[in-house]
Amino acid sequence: MTEARAATLALLAARAAEASVCPSEVARALTAGHADAWRDAMPAVHDAVDRLLAEGAVRLSWKGQPLSVRAGPYRISRA
C-alpha cells in the first residue's frame, strides 16, 4: 500500500494545485507496462486513498461535488 500512497501523491504533485486524478490513473501508474493489471491494483489504491483522506492529505469529489467518504466513482485532489 505504500506504493499506492506514493503514486497518488506523486501524480497529484505533478498536476496543477486544483487538478484531480482518477484512482485508475494511480493503479495504471503502479502497473505500467502490464495492460490490464491495473484492475488488480485498485484495492491497494482504494486503501491508500482511504488513509490519505483520514489524514486530511487529500479530498474526494465526483462531478465537482465533494465526497466525505470514498463511494462509487470519485476523483482525488490535494487537500
Dump pLDDT digits (tens) for 12-68.
999 999 999 999 999 999 998 787 899 999 999 999 999 999 999 999 999 999 999
Whole-angstrom Cα distance, residue 77 to residue 38?
Answer: 20
| C-alpha dihedral, 37 to 43 to 47 to 50, nearest 10° | 100
Which option is the CATH number for 2-78: 2.130.10.10, 1.10.10.10, 3.40.50.11720, 1.10.760.10?
Answer: 1.10.10.10
Whole-angstrom Cα distance, residue 70 to residue 54?
Answer: 11
Q: Where are the beta strands (DSSP E) in 6-79?
A: 20-21, 58-62, 65-67, 75-78
Instruction: Write down the number of H helices and E strands in the chain.
Output: 3, 4
Quote the pLDDT of residue 40.
Answer: 94
Quote the pLDDT of residue 1.
Answer: 57
